[in-house]
Structure 1
């Protein structure tokens, strides 16, 4: 089923000020409504809300994908191929500490994609990816 409607995602952050700066100035997202406990963002046409939540001690987990340790959980968006590469260059110029540097995953195979992973200041893992052929997004 294809759903062209925007999604809504709410995530916990333990430092609203640092994360607000990150999502506004590092990722260059447009800010929407906000309060002293949460901030709405236009996340590439979707609604992302960062909510303050005190820090907790949780074990991090990864799954192996294409020989890389992919953080679980994570979230992100699928960008257009050229937008992905431009965005990756902008992030590199801002000295983002990547969990997985931008690279081509499954090169030459079904589902070939550009991908990168990094954390926000609260440790939420983000993945951005792009397909040369968007028709392969759900290909088996």
Structure 2
């Protein structure tokens, strides 16, 4: 069975959300209303819902020498897709919370990772692993 995850999250408005996920990241647009919009997020379903009560991030996640934003969501992609996403973000001058970097070098779980914020300040992480057998 090929499973997909679904996540619903808060955004400040539909227009900037479409700009970020569709125009910048290249995610295919799904169904939408004036209050929510769906995206194909690298094979998974994101549902962005308009809210005026978006919580602040807490940089309490400790990973190696980084304090990462919690909550966050993201996607594990292959190396080519990771570089394509990085290039799209750089081409659109999106600021990185953490620029693309290697973690756990020469250890089990070696990966490249990058963190960004969407236009509603939702934290997103993209990862690519040296060896997919070490994801978990």
TM-score normalised per structure 2: 0.93
CA offsets, 1:45-72, max 9 Å, x none? 1100100011346363332212112110
The answer to whether residue 18 in structure 2 is matched with residue 27 in structure 1 is no
User: Conserved in 1, the CA contact under 8 Å of 2:98 and 2:116?
Assistant: yes
**Partner residue in 2 for 1:37:** 35
Task: Identify unmatched segments of 5+ residues in structure 2.
Answer: none
Counterpart of 1:64 (choices 62, 65, 74) is: 62
SS at match of 1:9: strand
Alpha-carbon distance in structure 1 between the residues aligned to 2:57 and 2:132:
34
After superposition, the CA RMSD in angstroms is 1.5
CA offsets, 1:74-117, max 9 Å, x none? 00010012211222122112111000000111111110001000
Task: Identify unmatched segments of 5+ residues in structure 1.
Answer: none
Aligned positions, number = 136
Give the ranges of 4+ consecutive aligned residues of structure 1 lying more than 2 Å apart after TM superposition: 55-62
Alpha-carbon distance in structure 2 between the residues aligned to 1:57 and 1:30:
26
Alpha-carbon distance in structure 2 between the residues aligned to 1:90 and 1:127:
15
Counterpart of 1:101 (choices 95, 99, 104) is: 99
